[in-house]
Amino acid sequence: MKRLFAVVGVLVGGLAVLFLPSCEKPTSPPHPNTPPNTTVANIPKSGDTLFALVTLHWDGEDNDGYIASYQYRYVTYHVHTGDSVVHDWKSTTETSLTIAFESSDLLNSQVFQVRAVDNDGAVDPTPAEKRFYTDQAIPPRTQLLSPRNNTELFVIEQITDWWKGIELTYTGRDQDGELVEFGWSVDGLAITWTTDTTVSIPPSAFKPPLTGAHLLKVTSRDNTNLVDPVGDSVTIRLVRPTFTNRILIIDETQEQNFPYELRNYTDARVDSFYASLFGTNDSWDYYGRNRTLPSREVMGQYKLIIWHADDRPISDATVHRLPNHTDVIKDYLNVGGKFVMSGWRILKSFAWTQRFPVGFEPGSFVYDYLHITRADETVLDGDFIGGEGFSGFSSIRVDSLKLLDIFPYNGKLAQINFMSEQAIGGFARKMYIYQNAPNSTYFQYRGQTCGIIYYGTSFDVAVLGFPIFFINGNDARTLAREILQRMGV
CA distances from 327 to 167, 168, 243, 330, 333 (A): 12, 14, 19, 5, 10
Beta strands in 160-298 (DSSP E): 166-173, 179-186, 192-194, 198-201, 212-222, 232-239, 245-251, 283-285
pLDDT of residue 25: 56
Same domain, 227 and 296: no
pTM above 0.75, yes or no: yes
What was the pLDDT predicted at 24?
A: 54
- Predicted confidence (pLDDT) at residue 16 exceeds the cutoff of 60: no
Crossing angle (nearest 10°) for helices 473-487 and 267-278: 50
pLDDT tens per residue, range 346-363 = 999 999 999 999 999 999
Compute the CA torsion angle 45, 47, 52, 58 (nearest 10 deg): 40
- Mean pLDDT, to the nearest integer, of 231-246? 98
Quick one: 297 and 228 in the same domain?
no
For the stretch 367-386, pLDDT in tens is 999 999 999 999 999 999 99
Task: Look at residue 290 in the predicted model and tell me its pLDDT.
Answer: 85
Q: Are residues 79 and 162 in the same domain?
A: no
Environment class of 446 (CB within 10 Å of its CB; exposed 0-12, middle 13-18, buried 19+): middle
Residue 7 pLDDT exceeds 60? no
Q: Is there a single domain that holds both residue 348 and residue 430?
A: yes
Looking at the fold, whether 251 and 280 belong to one and the same domain comes out as yes
**Tell me: the pLDDT tens digits for 19-54?**
545 555 555 667 789 999 999 999 899 999 999 999
479 in a structural domain: yes
Answer yes or no: do 234 and 146 share one domain. yes
CA dist 73 to 46, 67, 83, Å? 17, 18, 18
By the 8 A CB rule, do 108 and 134 touch?
Answer: yes
Altogether, the residues listed in the chain come to a count of 489
Nearest in space to 465 (alpha carbons), one of 381, 392, 372: 372
Distance CA 150, CA 239 (A): 12
Q: Would residue 200 count as lying in a domain?
A: yes
The reported pLDDT for the residue numbered 285 is 96
Question: What's the confidence (pLDDT) of residue 6?
Answer: 44
Closest CA to 367 of 310, 299, 428: 428
Q: For residues 346 and 415, what is the distance between their CA atoms, to the nearest angstrom?
A: 10
Provide the CATH number for the domain around residue 109. 2.60.40.10
Distance, CA of 214 to CA of 188 (rounded, Å): 10
Sign of CA dihedral 295, 301, 306, 311: negative
Tell me whether strands 152-154 and 232-239 are parallel, antiparallel or unpaired: parallel
Please tell me the distance from the alpha carbon of residue 252 to that of residue 257, in angstroms, as a whole number: 12
Nearest CA to 270 out of 464, 466, 417, 473 is that of: 473
Q: d(Cα 405, Cα 425) in Å, to the nearest integer?
A: 39
- 176: domain range? 141-239
In a domain, 156, yes or no: yes
Percent of the chain that is helix, strand, coil (3-state, to 5): 15, 40, 45
In a domain, residue 7? The reply is no
pLDDT at 2: 43
Predicted confidence (pLDDT) per residue in 381-434, tens digit? 999 999 999 999 999 999 999 998 888 899 999 999 999 766 676 688 999 999
383 and 436 together in one domain = yes
Give the separation between CA 130 and CA 467, rounded to whole angstroms: 79
Query: Strand 152-154 vs strand 90-92: parallel, antiparallel, or unpaired?
Result: unpaired
- Domain end position, chosen among 239, 254, 273: 239
17 found inside a domain: no
3-class DSSP state of 327: helix
Q: Residue 21 falls within a domain, yes or no?
A: no
Cα angle value 297/300/302 (rounded, 5°): 125
Q: Which residue has the higher pLDDT, 185 or 5?
A: 185
The span from the CA of 66 to the CA of 165, in Å, is: 54
Does position 4 have pLDDT exceeding 70, yes or no? Answer: no
**Which of 480, 169, 439, 79 minimizes the C-alpha distance to 308?**
480
Q: Examine the pLDDT at 18 and tell me if it is beyond 90.
A: no
Question: One-letter amino acid identity for 238?
Answer: L
**Position 210 in a domain:** yes
State how far the alpha carbon of 239 is from the alpha carbons of 159, 242, 292, in Å.
15, 9, 18
Last residue within a domain, chosen from 85, 100, 135: 135
Same domain for 174 and 194, yes or no, is yes
- Same domain, yes or no, for 401 and 340? yes
Domain co-membership, 231 together with 250 = no
List Cβ neighbours of 248 (8 Å cut-off, separation of 6 or more).
280, 282, 283, 284, 294, 298, 299, 301, 302, 304, 305, 306
Same domain, 264 and 293: yes
d(CA 166, CA 154): 8
Rounded to an integer, the average pLDDT of 447-466 is 96
Q: Which of 86 and 26 is assigned the larger pLDDT?
A: 86
pLDDT tens readout for residues 312-347: 999 999 999 999 999 999 999 999 999 999 999 999
DSSP letter at 293 equals P
What mean pLDDT, rounded, does the chain reach?
92
Which residues, in sequence order, are bridge partners of residue 54?
99
CB 440 within 8 A of CB 396: no
Report CA-CA distances (Å) from 412 to 388, 401, 406, 409.
15, 9, 9, 5
What's the rounded Cα separation, in Å, for the pair 221 and 409?
Answer: 63
Burial of 386 per CB tally in 10 Å (0-12, 13-18, 19+): buried
pLDDT in tens, 110-146: 999 999 999 999 999 999 999 999 999 999 999 999 9
Residue 29 lies in a domain: no
Domain boundary among 102, 135, 168: 135
180 and 218 part of one domain: yes
User: What single DSSP character describes residue 61?
Assistant: E
Per-residue pLDDT, averaged over 92-117, amounts to 96
Q: What average pLDDT does range 159-179 have in this prediction?
A: 95
Q: Look at the chain and report how many structural domains it folds into.
A: 3
Quick check: 434 and 447 in contact, CB under 8 A? Answer: yes
Looking up residue 323, the CATH number of its domain turns out to be: 3.40.50.880
Q: What confidence tens digit (pLDDT) does each residue in 45-84 have?
A: 999 999 999 999 999 999 999 999 999 999 999 999 999 9
